[in-house]
Amino acid sequence: MTVGNDAVGGDTGLPPSIEAAWGLRDRPVKGPKPGLSLDRIVTAAVDVAASEGLGAVSMGRVAKELGASTMALYRYVSAKEELYLLMQEAAMGTPEPLPALESGAGWRAALGEWAWAQRRMFQRNLWSLRIPIAGPPASPNSVAWWEQGLQALSGSGLPGGVKISVILLVSGFVRNEALLMSDIAAAVEEKGVPAEEVMARWERTLRRLVDPVRHPALVRLLETEVMSEPDAPDQEFVFGLERVLDGIEVLVRGDADGD
């Protein structure tokens, strides 16, 4: 996260949260608690979110963690929404290098690695999935992730506008899958039983409730016992990502045929 070392004065015309993320804001020069800094505030907020969830994060709670007053925090962060953006920026981090991009293995391999890297980032910071999306990416790390995704598509031959749509499609799939898996994991943890037992109970419940007339497709599926088969690691993500990439490949080939 870039913070205030190269701060500039004056009105940039940018939202306060973006100014803070890019370091385009002067640090307080007098009055703040000694040792308090934007980095410390963001780190404390991330620690609270990681241990107790995003809902536990408030300016008052973060101030308590730092042994400071809430008003002292407002000298560094103008609002909770700004704190959220800075927390998300810290969670995203700088995107890791993509071997396929560096080796020239092609857009599909590079875009696939980009998607997997995003998924790992979300899995390390599941709380960040709860931050409301406030607008297009404009913070340093979110822009860096977008840049890397566009670079992954550099050999696809797709026009710029289509590349943007592809980036939105892939990142949306990754985010949705990570959020869904997080919700399922939370539900399993709340029940206090292994995931396999939760799925077995669900199957038994379905067998009791489904009706051959109203639910013929479900009945046929239950008869195959496919729902009892153990899933391979990351099975749903692998399946979904490959289908998304298949669709993009059709688009790439169609665009090439039109040249």
- pLDDT for 7 equals 36
CB atoms within 10 A of CB 242: 12
Nearest 10 degrees: Cα torsion 88, 90, 92, 97? 160
Which residue is it, tokens 């639910």?
A: 215
- pLDDT for 44 equals 97
Closest C-alpha among 2, 21, 20, 66 to residue 40: 66
Which residue is it, tokens 């703040």?
A: 32
- pLDDT for 65 equals 96
Distance of CA 1 to the CA centre of its chain: 16
Helix/strand/coil for 64: helix
Q: Which CATH class is domain 16-92?
A: mainly alpha
- Please list the pLDDT of the chain residue by residue as tens digits (259 residues): 433 333 334 477 888 888 889 988 766 655 555 579 999 999 999 999 999 999 999 999 999 999 999 999 999 998 999 999 999 999 999 999 999 999 999 999 999 999 999 999 999 999 999 999 888 889 999 999 999 999 999 999 999 999 999 999 999 999 999 999 888 888 878 888 887 888 888 899 999 999 999 999 999 999 998 877 877 779 999 999 999 999 999 999 986 665 5
Residues in the chain: 259
CATH number of 99-192+229-257: 1.10.357.10
Exposed (0-12), middle (13-18) or buried (19+): which is 128, by Cβ within 10 Å?
buried
Domain ranges of the chain: 16-92, 99-192+229-257
- pLDDT for 8 equals 36
